[in-house]
Structure 1
Amino acid sequence: MTKTFASAGDMSEKKISFTEVGKDLWAFTAEGDPNSGVIIGDDSVMIIEAQATPRLANKVIEKVRSITDKPISHLVLTHYHAVRVLGAAAYNAPTVIMSDTARAMVVERGQEDWDSEFQRFPRLFQGHESIPGLTYPTTTFSERMTVYLGKRRVDLMHLGRAHTAGDIVAWVPDEEVMFTGDIVEYHSACYCGDGHFEDWGHTLDAIKSFEPRSIAPGRGDALVGPDMVEAAIESTRDFVASTYRPVAKVAARGGSLKEAWDAVRAECDPKFKTYAIYEHCLPFNVARAYDEARGIDTPRIWTAERDAEMWAKLQG
């Protein structure tokens, strides 16, 4: 009998934390569930990541309203994944920002991603009936743009491919704080099913070059202080490399996907098995690593049908 998705059985509510990572900068975290960020300017607020549904977005808004009554003027989406973007309608933000590449990925594969994510992670789609449709930005950019929230400057940048081809970060220079989306995780598995393994480390190096004092990562606790920032960046680097390295060896000798799976389990289980969403991410990570190691540069689109076929093959 084929097992269900590891995430399908994870229905327990997660404890929400709301941590100040710099002056008027906050990280909304929930024990490995998708994080959001809050940047408070002189006269308005920027939100980083929308959550999966308007109902879940309202939990972020409730925390924002506990500290400020300034209007939400900007919503920044670091990439296109459904669990990050489909709650956008709750914010009523006049400006919704993605990279050019991320918007193109919504067009190309947004509906398929929504369908497959909904099947994989039912708990993260509480109130899914309130989602009005795919989320499209009002504003896009290629490499870099700057937004001023009054005097507060926020630099939005595409530093390289990693979790997806269209990842962006938000850098707040007055406090030296970065919101990295899923390029950096903390005690949570990296989802690499749409990732670029060979580029990811270079993108981490680009983040590291800013010498952030704090980081709001994509999943896991807020990273406050240089030591915690360094530990999270290097742990993320190790996770990505430890996934790709054994797969590349298997692919180089013409080995099978199942052999790649066994090799990754042997290397990663001892180090990362206790990380949040590890079991959920693992088959998708191995499948994408196997493709990349065989020269497939653009991640293949995940569909609910492809998910189930791969899951049955590796987990059944």
Structure 2
Amino acid sequence: MSKAFASQGDLGEKKTSFTEVGPGLYAFTAEGDPNTGVIIGDESVMVVEAQATPRLARKVIECIRSVTDKPISHLVLTHYHAVRVLGASAYGAGEVIMSEAARGMVEERGAEDWASEFGRFPRLFQGHEEIPGLTWPTTTFSEAMTVYLGKRKVEIMHLGRAHTAGDAVVWVPDAEVMFTGDIVEYHSACYCGDGHFSDWADTLDNIASFDPVAIAPGRGDALVGRDMVAKALAATADFVESTYRPVAKVAARGGSLKEAWDAVRAACDPKFKDYAIYEHCLPFNVARAYDEARGIDHPRIWTAERDREMWAALQG
């Protein structure tokens, strides 16, 4: 029997948590579903990642209102994926911030990504009728920008390609806490379908160079304490390398995509099969790794049709 496509079989509600990762800093997490970060400044609040729909965003807002009544002034989107950005309208933020590269990807592939992810994650897109359209930033940056929430300084940076070409991280220097988006995951598979395997480890090293005391990752539990941060960075690097290395070997000898799939299963299943969304991510990860190993630097656009064709070819 063929497996349910992507996360179509994952219909159970997830337990959410709202964890303080530093003074006035919180991570909204949901058992492997997309996380959201919250930064409370002197005068207002910055949210990092919007969630997939306004319905899900309102769950985050409820948590924010349990700790502060300050207005939400800024929304930072670490990359362009639909599950991260399409809930943006619920926050009413005056400034919506993305890297310039991420904005370019909304323009290039935002509509296709929306249709693709809608098919992959039906549970996350409940209430999708409220989504007003693609989410566009009001402000972009190339390498870095600084926002002051009153006296609280927040640095938003592009530290290298990883999960996408336009990934941003958010650093709060007074607390030594970083919000990394999907560059870092904890006990959750990395989605690499639009990624850059060869750059990912260097980007993780750039994150580690800040020596954060806590990280709010893209998925999984909040990482509080340097030991937990180090373990998550190492596990993320291992996941990415363990996916790419066997594919590169297959591609170098002219092997097929299906052979690459079998090689990755042999390498990754023993270590990562209990990770959240592992089965969902694996086919997309293998397909992208196979392209990169054959010299395709710019990830091909995923469409709902391409998703299904790839899934059928690899999963049966």
Name the TM tier (shorter chain). over 0.9
* Distance in 1 of aligned mates of 2:17 and 2:119: 26
Aligned residue number for residue 181 of structure 2? 181
* Distance in 1 of aligned mates of 2:237 and 2:209: 15
Q: Deviations over 1:10-38 (max 9, x none)?
A: 00000000000000000000000000000
Say which SS state the counterpart of residue 125 (structure 1) adopts: coil
* Distance in 1 of aligned mates of 2:148 and 2:301: 36
Matched, 1:196 2:225: no
- Matched residues, number: 316
One-letter amino acid of the counterpart of residue 151, structure 1: K
Contact 1:193 1:284 in 2 (8 A): yes
Say which SS state the counterpart of residue 7 (structure 1) adopts: coil
Q: Deviations over 1:29-76 (max 9, x none)?
A: 000000000000001000000000000000000000000000000000
Say which SS state the counterpart of residue 122 (structure 1) adopts: coil
Contact 1:214 1:226 in 2 (8 A): yes
Give the C-alpha shift of residue 5 in structure 1: 1.1
Give the C-alpha shift of residue 87 in structure 1: 0.1
Aligned residue number for residue 164 of structure 1? 164
* Distance in 2 of aligned mates of 1:66 and 1:139: 28
Identity %, equivalent residues: 82
* Distance in 2 of aligned mates of 1:85 and 1:299: 20
* Distance in 1 of aligned mates of 2:92 and 2:41: 17
* Distance in 1 of aligned mates of 2:301 and 2:163: 14
Give the C-alpha shift of residue 2 in structure 1: 4.7
Aligned residue number for residue 114 of structure 1? 114
Give the C-alpha shift of residue 4 in structure 1: 2.8
Q: Deviations over 1:108-132 (max 9, x none)?
A: 0000000000000000111000000
* Distance in 2 of aligned mates of 1:228 and 1:144: 27
For structure 1, list consecutive stretches of 5 or more residues without a partner in the other structure: none
* Distance in 2 of aligned mates of 1:118 and 1:4: 15
Aligned residue number for residue 288 of structure 1? 288
1:217-296 correspondence runs (5 A): 217-296=217-296
Give the C-alpha shift of residue 3 in structure 1: 3.7
Q: Deviations over 1:219-264 (max 9, x none)?
A: 0000000000000000000000000000000000000000000000
Aligned residue number for residue 214 of structure 1? 214
* Distance in 2 of aligned mates of 1:214 and 1:311: 36
* Distance in 1 of aligned mates of 2:11 and 2:138: 34
Say which SS state the counterpart of residue 7 (structure 2) adopts: helix
Matched, 1:37 2:37: yes
Say which SS state the counterpart of residue 126 (structure 1) adopts: coil
* Distance in 2 of aligned mates of 1:96 and 1:248: 38
Aligned residue number for residue 51 of structure 2? 51
* Distance in 1 of aligned mates of 2:212 and 2:272: 25
Aligned residue number for residue 150 of structure 1? 150
For structure 2, list consecutive stretches of 5 or more residues without a partner in the other structure: none
Aligned residue number for residue 303 of structure 1? 303
* Distance in 1 of aligned mates of 2:182 and 2:5: 21
Say which SS state the counterpart of residue 5 (structure 1) adopts: coil
Consecutive aligned runs of 4 or more in structure 1 exceeding 3 Å deviation: none
Say which SS state the counterpart of residue 27 (structure 1) adopts: strand
* Distance in 2 of aligned mates of 1:144 and 1:122: 35
One-letter amino acid of the counterpart of residue 193, structure 1: G
Aligned residue number for residue 18 of structure 1? 18
One-letter amino acid of the counterpart of residue 266, structure 2: A
* Distance in 2 of aligned mates of 1:3 and 1:202: 35
* Distance in 2 of aligned mates of 1:15 and 1:2: 28
Say which SS state the counterpart of residue 67 (structure 1) adopts: coil
